[in-house]
Amino acid sequence: MGIPANRGVWSFGFGESKEVMEVERSVLIGTYARAPIVLASGKGCKLYDVEGREYLDMTSGIAVNALGHGDPDWVEAVSEQADILTHVSNVYYSIPQVELAKCLECSFADRIFFSNSGTEANEAAIKFGRKFQRFSHPDVKEPPVMPGVTFLEYISFSNSFHGRTMGALALTSKEHYGSPFEPVMPGVTFLEYGNIQTAKQVIQRGKTAAVFVEPIQGEGGIYSSTTEFLQSLRNACDDAGALLVFDEPLAGGLPIGAVLVTERVAAAINSGDHGSTFAGGPLVCKAALTVLDKIRNPSFLSSVSKKGQYFKELLAQKLGRNPHVKEVRGLGLIIGIELDLPALPLVDECRNSGLLVLTAGKGNVVRLVPPLVISEQELEHAAEILLKCLPVLDSN
């Protein structure tokens, strides 16, 4: 199938994909091992390259395009806001920012801090954690800044990924992300994900500032925590006077992140303690409002759960008998297929067959994170392509 008539391709003077890739190699720093396709447009759960080939998108821009591509309500909101006001900085008040903050109060939060990304949100949470402990214990002498210090220690978990800035790198368990840039932030202890007893022993009053945990580990290999584990962390942090930070994404195709806190934590933060030039701008906040208005609808959330369960069962049925498939796991529409060997050959073969998927874990997990608006028919099509492409693993 070619590009729909209303989805034009902007070539900017380039010809075929090969030319774009050659120019890219000469002008950009080589930090990305890109897949060899040049994407030009998208609609719904479909993407199209510059040659007009169609792909079913099961990546969602790495799990951020919740409504897929070109959602009409999202496009209308962004277009209208761009025509009104895009950016003014946080020197001034703006209405979409306050509206979004009020909307996010539907969670546990009393106060919100906006950022441009998940890693920036984690950096803010790191700073807030330290400031909160000093605010809560004003009579404690300032400790030396080194591993084992009072009130400055953080806890993270195995298979974790919290971002690529220096503080977030320190909380990320995979050594290859941080080792080229050492020394990273000291004072981080890594525990086994899901181990309740160890967490209870290590989270201590007068030592632990905050615990960072992903309720669902994406990059780590699609591991879901149990309610019991998360509740045990909540209890241990309460007993120790430490903060508990859930690291989850907030996005809809434009860059935005947020730190949600209680009034007790917010009381420790003063004007000038932290800030951002672009964060919480009118345009991105209007876009996020549109996403939240849709995804927090109970019927929408119910459909995501239903489709996720259906897709997991379908994958287990179609792929489960293959000797290379060890497990199909996940929650909702975040699903991982663990293999007994590297997943990249399967990812490449799927792409050649019109399906875009990712790797995760130690490179042996196929990560499926489609837009939440995906249909059951599209999920069935994805499962068929995966089944058709599985034999490539035998030749690798």
Q: d(Cα 11, Cα 16) in Å, to the nearest integer?
A: 9
Q: What pLDDT, on the 0 to 100 scale, is given for residue 248? A: 75
Amino acid 311: pLDDT: 98
Q: What is the mean pLDDT of the chain?
A: 92
Q: What are the residue ranges of helices labelled H in the chain?
A: 17-27, 60-63, 72-84, 95-104, 118-136, 166-170, 175-178, 196-202, 227-240, 263-266, 282-295, 298-319, 344-352, 376-389
Q: Considering the domain 17-70+298-394 in this protein, what is its CATH number? A: 3.90.1150.10
Q: Is the peptide bond before 345 cis (omega within 30 degrees of 0)?
A: no
Top pLDDT among 4 and 281 is at: 281
Element (H, E) at 337: strand 334-339
Confidence tier at 352 by pLDDT (50, 70, 90): very high
Q: What is the pLDDT of residues 355-378, one digit of tens each?
A: 999 999 999 999 999 999 999 999
- pLDDT tens by residue, 74-94: 999 999 999 999 999 999 999
Task: For residue 6, give Cα distances in angstroms to 38, 43, 56.
Answer: 19, 10, 18
Specify the pLDDT at position 150.
Answer: 53
- What is the rounded distance in angstroms from the CA atom of residue 238 to the CA atom of residue 254? 35
Domain ranges of the chain: 17-70+298-394, 72-296
pTM for the full predicted model:
0.92
Output the six-digit token pair for 39.
Answer: 């994407």
Q: Which residues pair with 111 in a beta bridge?
A: 261
- Other Cβ atoms within 10 Å of 329 Cβ, number: 18
CATH fold for the domain made of 72-296: Aspartate Aminotransferase; domain 2 (3.40.640)
Q: What does the pLDDT read at residue 151?
A: 55
Show the tokens assigned to 82: 């761009």
Residue 396 confidence class, pLDDT cut points 50, 70, 90:
confident
Q: What is the pLDDT of residue 139?
A: 80
pLDDT at 353: 98
pLDDT value of position 6: 46
- Identify the burial level of 356 via C-beta atoms within 10 angstroms of its C-beta, where 0-12 means exposed, 13-18 middle and 19 or more buried: buried
Q: Which pLDDT tens digit goes with each residue over 1-25?
A: 445 544 555 555 667 899 999 999 9
Q: What is the pLDDT of residues 34-43, one digit of tens each?
A: 999 999 999 9
Q: Are 184 and 139 in contact (CB under 8 A)?
A: no
From 119-128, 134-143, 177-186, 193-202, the region with the lowest mean pLDDT:
134-143
Alpha-carbon torsion angle 305, 307, 313, 316, nearest 10: -110
- pLDDT digit string (tens) for 299-343? 999 999 999 999 999 999 999 999 999 999 999 999 999 999 999
Q: Give the model confidence (pLDDT) of 208-246 as tens digits.
A: 999 999 999 999 999 999 999 999 999 999 999 999 999
- pLDDT at position 142: 58
- Which amino acid is present at 391? P
